[in-house]
Chains A and B, each alone.
Chain A
Amino acid sequence: MSSTGIQRFGENLRTLPRTLREAVSRTGAPTTDRARSSFVFGNLFLHLHSVRVHLWTFRWSTTWGLGIAALSAFLVTLVTGILLMFYYKPYPDAAYWSVKDIHFVVPTGKFIRNIHRWAAQVMVFAVFAHMARVFYTASYRKPREFNWVVGMGLLVLTLGLSFTGYLLPWDQLAYWAITIGANIAQSPREVTDALGVTATFDPGGLVRFILLGSEEIGEEALIRFYLLHVMLLPLLLGALLGVHFWRIRKDGGLARPADADRRVAESPVPVQPTFTDAPRKTYQLAALVRGTSPAVGRAPEKTVPAMPHLFYAELAVFMLTILVCVALSLVSDAPLKEHANPAVPENPAKAPWYFLGLQELVAYSAFMGGMGLPTLVVIGLTLIPLLDRETDGTGEWFGGPGGLPLVLRSAAFGLVTVIAIEAFAIRFGWLREWFPDVPQLVVTFVNPGTLLALAYAAYSLLCVKRYDSTRAGALALFTCFLCGFVVLTIVGVHFRGPNWSFYWSPADWPAH
């Protein structure tokens, strides 16, 4: 023994910081690409990234950073939401006053609530935009079909989070938006009532009852919405997010055109060809997951290490998202109206903007506008990758037969149709104004939205036939629905006033 136990103890004490550092990070300072790769690979949070990323990923037009923006906004809502939970009290009356206190006396409270609110809006917008990006670059195709389906789940969860958060302030806006929302959930009764089976089969009433925990909106509803908002939905969203990211990696990174390697520009950093035409080399585990690893058997690919290049890009989008949220929060305060008053409805009672397209349709019939069509749209979107199995144009903007011209034509058709139907309905009214005795079932199903959907579907079938391509039909249908959604949302946001009447501008609203 060259040293005594005491000496060794002293030495151990002296080297404690280094030992600790080495225990945490096994790779040492990540100064070489190899060390960095190892660092990424060995880190729980970073290893969702591939170690190396194709240069195509770094083109801004590939993603516009929308997925990361949505994630960033989610993280921001997560942090600010947890902070708000310090003060928020999920009980009627107390809820409203606690939000007032957050506004007026909690240090940074109002700012944090503004950020929470704006980040939620940014998240919804980014999720929509991300979906459109993935669709228009045809990135949903094999092997990424399932990730598209997961993405649809994330979209629904995002909207659900936003909607459940809407009730929590317990103000007039919240109360009446939730009243409407809960009654939309109950709207299958329009059908069951018309069929006379509500007494035995009442899915609408059941959903509403489970949502509200009571016959009316009160403390039970508030605690349920709170549970959904701060616990169930975030957990589900987090889990699905994990799957989503993991699948991105397992599906071989972002979709890119077959000739991506040729098309990426000169790289400013050293580019290593990752894999040569080596024989069937696989990642062992990945091989289990998907047979052969996606990158196997390809020509040399232009990849760069994820660290630091991808991280710079991601961090940049993250900070940009925060910048947008903070800027909006400084400019505009999150609304907080009068204390909820079940006796005096808000007029107009408007849902958050992304639901106002639906609210516009609900104004004609609750079931079709609020349940039937949205369900159909979500199912239709989910099925896109399973129904369009062509391979042309993957990773290309507007890839596929027809391309941009087809999209523009579809947009024109979509806009003209929705505006025509809306203008007609606003100018001349709808069924019941012409035939007061028309059966409810007809009113329920013959919604302007139904006609719109049929027109869009017919148009897209026409495109399938004309271009002899399912992708063309998908492009046409998606574009039409996007246009319809945008126009209906704009009508709902801007052109609808008290009693859901049409006004050219909110300035024309009568004082109430």
Chain B
Amino acid sequence: MSTMTSARSAPPPSSRLEPPPVARRDFLGLAALWSAMAALAVAAVGALRLPRAAVVPVPSRKFRVTLPETLAPGEPFLPAGRSVAVFRDGTGVWAMSTVCTHLGCIVKQEGEGFACPCHGSLFKMDGAVTKGPAPKALPWLAVSRVGGGVYLVDEAESVAPGTKAAT
């Protein structure tokens, strides 16, 4: 039965355990393999695009805030449900994010400034870093006056520190 080995092939192998190397120039096989790889690669690239959402459901980050009459000048007012501190003094109204610029914990007022509970960053009342790993000052946010003690704060838009809206 061993005579059944293909006539097309090179001389019969010397040993079953040491067969001759396979011919390298198998153009058809390589083309087929590479095209399969290409198709799978394109499919993989397409699939990898999927996890990056094209649109994200984010509600408006603008909100209205009514400052209480009793708010002391320079004292923060913390609207419920927002990570923002709003201030008022004689020169105007301003808002500052209370999200720590280090890793996103919410800072708490402590004495004459803010302290981050997570990694110990300290900020001054105007947001400047005084201690700890926070790389940047707390950003100031855009505020505009709606009227009647109501102000519109836009969490998405930060402004240069010192920018205040008229009271």
Contact B1 A273 (CB under 8 A): yes
User: Could you say which interface size class chain A belongs to?
Assistant: 20 to 34
8 Å CB contacts to A: which residues of B137-162? none
Contact A32 B29 (CB under 8 A): no
Would you call B58 an interface residue if the criterion is a C-beta within 8 Å of the partner chain's C-beta atoms?
no
Nearest-neighbour CB distance to chain B for A250, whole angstroms, equals 23
Chain B residues near A33: list those with CB within 8 A.
19, 22
Render B13-55 as a binary contact track against A, CB cut-off 8 A, 1 for contact. 1001111111010000100110010010001001101111111
Partner of A112, one of B18, B22, B29, B50: B50
- In the complex formed, the residue of A with least CB distance to B26 is A308
Contact A322 B39 (CB under 8 A): yes
Known: A32-B21, A300-B2. 4 other contacts (CB 8 A): A32-B19, A271-B6, A272-B5, A319-B36
Contact B47 A308 (CB under 8 A): no
Would you call A335 an interface residue if the criterion is a C-beta within 8 Å of the partner chain's C-beta atoms?
no
Nearest-neighbour CB distance to chain B for A106, whole angstroms, equals 6
Chain B residues near A316: list those with CB within 8 A.
32
Contact B19 A270 (CB under 8 A): yes
Would you call A269 an interface residue if the criterion is a C-beta within 8 Å of the partner chain's C-beta atoms?
yes
Would you call B70 an interface residue if the criterion is a C-beta within 8 Å of the partner chain's C-beta atoms?
no
Would you call B9 an interface residue if the criterion is a C-beta within 8 Å of the partner chain's C-beta atoms?
yes
Would you call B80 an interface residue if the criterion is a C-beta within 8 Å of the partner chain's C-beta atoms?
no
Chain A residues near B50: list those with CB within 8 A.
83, 86, 106-109, 112
Would you call A299 an interface residue if the criterion is a C-beta within 8 Å of the partner chain's C-beta atoms?
yes
Contact A273 B2 (CB under 8 A): yes
Nearest-neighbour CB distance to chain B for A299, whole angstroms, equals 7
**Listed residue (B2, B4, B32) with the most chain A CB atoms within 10 angstroms of its CB:** B4
Nearest-neighbour CB distance to chain A for B1, whole angstroms, equals 5
Would you call A437 an interface residue if the criterion is a C-beta within 8 Å of the partner chain's C-beta atoms?
no
Would you call A31 an interface residue if the criterion is a C-beta within 8 Å of the partner chain's C-beta atoms?
yes
Which residues of B are interface residues toward A (Cβ below 8 A)? 1-2, 4-9, 12-13, 16-22, 24, 29, 32-33, 36, 39, 43, 46-47, 49-55
Chain B residues near A83: list those with CB within 8 A.
47, 50-51
Chain B residues near A23: list those with CB within 8 A.
none
8 Å CB contacts to B: which residues of A115-133? none
Nearest-neighbour CB distance to chain B for A411, whole angstroms, equals 38
Chain A residues near B33: list those with CB within 8 A.
315
**A272-B49 contact given A300-B2, A319-B39, A322-B39, CB 8 Å threshold:** no
Nearest-neighbour CB distance to chain A for B58, whole angstroms, equals 14
- In the complex formed, the residue of A with least CB distance to B52 is A107
Would you call A433 an interface residue if the criterion is a C-beta within 8 Å of the partner chain's C-beta atoms?
no
Partner of B29, one of A270, A299, A308: A308
Contact A272 B16 (CB under 8 A): yes
Nearest-neighbour CB distance to chain A for B30, whole angstroms, equals 11
Partner of B22, one of A31, A80, A86, A319: A31
Chain A residues near B1: list those with CB within 8 A.
261, 273, 299-300, 302
Would you call A267 an interface residue if the criterion is a C-beta within 8 Å of the partner chain's C-beta atoms?
yes
6 A–B contacts, CB within 8 A, in A order: A32-B19, A106-B53, A108-B47, A269-B9, A271-B5, A319-B39
- In the complex formed, the residue of B with least CB distance to A270 is B9
Contact A270 B6 (CB under 8 A): yes
Which residues of A are interface residues toward B (Cβ below 8 A)? 31-34, 79-80, 83, 86-87, 105-109, 111-112, 261, 266-273, 299-300, 302, 308, 312, 315-316, 319, 322
Chain B residues near A107: list those with CB within 8 A.
49-50, 52-54
Contact B36 A271 (CB under 8 A): no
Partner of A272, one of B8, B19, B53: B19
Chain B residues near A270: list those with CB within 8 A.
5-6, 9, 12-13, 19
Docked Cα-Cα span, A312 to B47, in Å, equals 25
- In the complex formed, the residue of B with least CB distance to A102 is B50
Chain B residues near A87: list those with CB within 8 A.
53
Contact B8 A34 (CB under 8 A): no
Docked Cα-Cα span, A383 to B14, in Å, equals 49
Docked Cα-Cα span, A268 to B43, in Å, equals 33
Docked Cα-Cα span, A267 to B50, in Å, equals 45
Docked Cα-Cα span, A319 to B43, in Å, equals 12
Chain B residues near A273: list those with CB within 8 A.
1-2
Contact B54 A105 (CB under 8 A): yes
Chain B residues near A112: list those with CB within 8 A.
46-47, 50
Contact A106 B54 (CB under 8 A): yes
Partner of A266, one of B6, B12, B53: B6
Docked Cα-Cα span, A261 to B4, in Å, equals 10
Docked Cα-Cα span, A33 to B16, in Å, equals 9
Partner of A315, one of B5, B21, B36, B51: B36
Nearest-neighbour CB distance to chain B for A310, whole angstroms, equals 13
Contact A34 B18 (CB under 8 A): yes
Chain B residues near A269: list those with CB within 8 A.
6, 9
Partner of B46, one of A34, A105, A111: A111
Chain B residues near A109: list those with CB within 8 A.
50
Docked Cα-Cα span, A316 to B28, in Å, equals 13
Docked Cα-Cα span, A31 to B18, in Å, equals 11
Chain A residues near B24: list those with CB within 8 A.
31
Nearest-neighbour CB distance to chain B for A58, whole angstroms, equals 14
Docked Cα-Cα span, A374 to B165, in Å, equals 75
Docked Cα-Cα span, A31 to B26, in Å, equals 12
Docked Cα-Cα span, A31 to B6, in Å, equals 19
- In the complex formed, the residue of B with least CB distance to A31 is B21
Contact A108 B4 (CB under 8 A): no
Contact B6 A312 (CB under 8 A): no
Contact B2 A86 (CB under 8 A): no
